[in-house]
Amino acid sequence: MSGPLLELEGVHTHIGAYHILHGVDLQVARGELTVLLGRNGAGKTTTLRTIMGLWHASAGHVRFDGQEIGAQSTPEIARKGIAYVPENMGIFADLTVRENMILAARGAKNAEEIDAKRLEWVFSLFPAMKKFWQHPAGLLSGGQKQMLAVARAIVEPRHLLLVDEPSKGLAPAIIQNMIAAFRELKQTDTTILLVEQNFNFARQLGDQVAVMDGGRIVHSGTMAALAEDEALQQRLLGLSLGAHQ
């Protein structure tokens, strides 16, 4: 099937009295990793939450695989094969790593029912998950929590991953591990929409890139083109992102 896997057209989102998204047009191509860049408050997280149905668009269309999902509830959207890793990681701190993974694997009633081969693969990406399998997730370090959040999103095959700032607050070594994991993930034909502020991180992973500002997409194109064009980077990303490079 052709056409983008996910498509936003003229999406407006209000949160209470505040108008956050002002007509977002975004296409996420199948099998590719699209990075959504932009400074704080540009509307990146709101875009992901709107896709997930956690907030509903007041106008515009959200289409997944050609089908309108804008009016559906969050669980319905998730069941279409969309996984979400929120900025706060959404770890259930009182539950163990194992229990977190059981919940992420919708088809499994207990740990034994999680696809063993898939789980081994997840462990190979994030060995810490195997090591701390029986530990409360709240005791994990920040980087390990981020790994758990991503591991949860991929423990069963999903069509689309929405990942909000996976590099936030992580040590450089952990970021390298995360980049490696995403590269591995890209091999599995999973489509990924990644929100980032760290351009360096984004540049190593992205196929496509979209830049947000003031609740709109102000630029979209290939990552390769943006990576080569210093002037464009300066213009689009401003100084706040320059600091990361």
Partner 1 sequence: MSSSAATPAVPDALPEVKADRIPLLLIPALALLALPAIGSFSTWVTLTFAGLAMGMIIFIIASGLTLVFGLMDVLNFGHGVFITLGAFLAVSVLGAMAPWSTSDRMILNVAVVLVAMLVAMVVTGAVGLGYERLIIRPVYGNGLKQILITMGGMIVGEELIKVIWGPQAIPLPLPTAFRGSVLFGEAAVERYRLIAVVIGLIVFAAMIWVLSNTKVGLLIRAGVHDREMVESLGYHIRRLFVGVFVAGSALAGLGGVMWGLYQQGVMPQMGSAVNVLLFIVIIIGGMGSVGGCFIGALLVGLVANYTGFLVPKVALFSNILLMVVILLWRPAGLYSVGKR
Q: Does 133 bind partner 1 (CB under 8 A)?
A: no
Q: Is the Cβ of residue 153 or residue 241 nearer to partner 1 in the bound state?
A: 153
Contacts of 88 (CB under 8 A, 6+ apart): none
- x/- contact string, 181-200, with partner 1 (CB under 8 A)? x-xx---x------------
Give the binding range for partner 1 (CB under 8 A) out of 5-13, 36-44, 117-125, 212-220: 117-125
Q: Does 127 bind partner 1 (CB under 8 A)?
A: yes
Near partner 1 by CB under 8 A: residue from 90, 133, 168, 220: 90
Residue length of the chain: 245
Q: Is the Cβ of residue 159 or residue 216 nearer to partner 1 in the bound state?
A: 159
The DSSP 8-state label assigned to residue 188 in this structure reads T
Pick from 51, 89, 93, 90: nearest CA to 69: 51
Q: How far is CA 221 from CA 61, 177, 210, 218, in A?
A: 21, 27, 7, 11
Instruction: Please tell me the distance from the alpha carbon of residue 38 to that of residue 175, in angstroms, as a whole number.
Output: 19
The DSSP 8-state label assigned to residue 5 in this structure reads S
Q: Does 116 bind partner 1 (CB under 8 A)?
A: no
What are 163's two structure tokens?
């990942």
Footprint on this chain of partner 1 (rule: CB under 8 A): 52, 54, 73-75, 78-79, 84, 86, 88, 90, 92-95, 99, 102-104, 106, 109-110, 117, 121, 124-128, 131-132, 135-136, 138-141, 143, 152, 173-174, 176-177, 180-181, 183-184, 188
